[in-house]
Amino acid sequence: MQLLDGKALSTKIEAEIVNEAKNLKNKTGLVPGLAVILVGQDPASAAYVKMKKKACDRAGFYSVTHEMPNDISQSAIENTIKMMNNNPNIDGILIQLPLPKQIDTTKILELVEPSKDVDGFHPYNVGRLTTGLDGFVPCTPLGVMKLLDEYNIDVKGKNCVVVGASNIVGKPMASLLLNANATVEICHIFTDDLKKHTLNADILFVGVGVINLIKEDMVKDGAIIVDIGINRTDDGKLVGDVDFEKVSKKCSYITPVPGGVGPMTIAMLLSNTLKAAKAHANERE
């Protein structure tokens, strides 16, 4: 069994991004800029935003966080997004999800200028991903593909089972795998007999937020396991969706939690923001 070390790869990618950002600044005078909207006091969301801010600082990016109260109005968020869409110093806009119940999340995500949609959630970018065209891809599944590539794991022709069908992870993960010529199966909360499907996986991707959902009798010998889940146990320990201790004894590769997919998500956010900055710089030439 070999660990898929996302922490080491993300460090390598960040170093490359730092150099590219410096070159962009020297050539054009522009610094990549990321704006984040954080609504409410959710501890997990606040922690994620803090990590993203630190990553921007390390990369030499400009970043700003708009913190808003939980009872914020739809129009107030919309006005902030419109302001950021028109701000030439902002290349990427990130809406930290989930948003409070009174907010129409779909409408908010659709309001983000597609060229600044570094999370890849706008229907324009979703459509481009689905049809195999260049655009912004959600950071977590994009990070997973980079991680597999780093370890020379080719998904072409492989049976890839994705557990979880969210718009943020499961669906874009499946699209990326299809674009890479994998055979893809998507499972979700209504899937009957999950084990029957996971046992067929050459590569298993799991991202639903259920501790120890995947047990050793649910994976075949030599399978590759990508654990995208992140959960906190009662004693405060971070764990994924896979019973790591037991499943790791059967598989050929597995991502640890923490230190697997998580750092790759942050690295891809920086990468997408740099990509947006370069495109905006070209438009101004």
| Catalytic, out of 117, 119, 241, 243 | 119
β-sheet bridge partners, residue 35: 64, 93
**139-262 and 28-113 share a CATH fold:** yes
| Catalytic, out of 52, 158, 171, 275 | 52
pLDDT tens digits along 103-154: 999 999 999 999 999 999 999 999 999 999 999 999 999 999 999 999 999 9
For the chain, the structural domain boundaries read 28-113, 139-262
Q: Tell me how far apart the alpha carbons of residues 127 and 61 are, in angstroms, rounded to a whole number.
A: 28
- Rounded CA Rg of the chain: 19
Q: At residue 285, does pLDDT exceed 80?
A: no
28-113 — its CATH code? 3.40.50.10860
Q: What is the pLDDT of residue 44?
A: 82
**Nearest Cα to Cα of residue 84 among 113, 55, 107, 61:** 113
Positions of E strands within the chain: 2-3, 33-39, 62-68, 92-95, 159-163, 183-187, 203-206, 224-227, 231-232, 238-239, 253-254
Q: Tell me how far apart the alpha carbons of residues 108 and 175 are, in angstroms, rounded to a whole number.
A: 23
Side chain identity at residue 128, one-letter code: R
Q: What is the pLDDT of residue 2?
A: 97
pLDDT tens digits along 246-257: 999 999 999 999
For 139-262, which CATH superfamily applies? NAD(P)-binding Rossmann-like Domain (3.40.50.720)
Q: Tell me how far apart the alpha carbons of residues 240 and 208 are, in angstroms, rounded to a whole number.
A: 9
Concerning whether 119 is annotated as a catalytic residue, the answer is: yes
| Catalytic, out of 96, 171, 227, 275 | 96
Lowest mean pLDDT among 2-11, 41-50, 71-80: 41-50
Helices 170-179 + 123-130 axis angle, to 10: 30
Helices 261-284 + 6-28 axis angle, to 10: 10
Compute the mean pLDDT over every residue in the chain, rounded to the nearest whole number: 96
State the first-to-last Cα distance of the chain, in angstroms, to the nearest integer: 50
Other C-beta atoms lying within 10 Å of the C-beta of residue 101: 7
What percentage of the chain exceeds 90 in pLDDT?
93
Other C-beta atoms lying within 10 Å of the C-beta of residue 20: 18
Q: What is the pLDDT of residue 283?
A: 86
Q: What is the pLDDT of residue 175?
A: 98
Concerning whether 96 is annotated as a catalytic residue, the answer is: yes
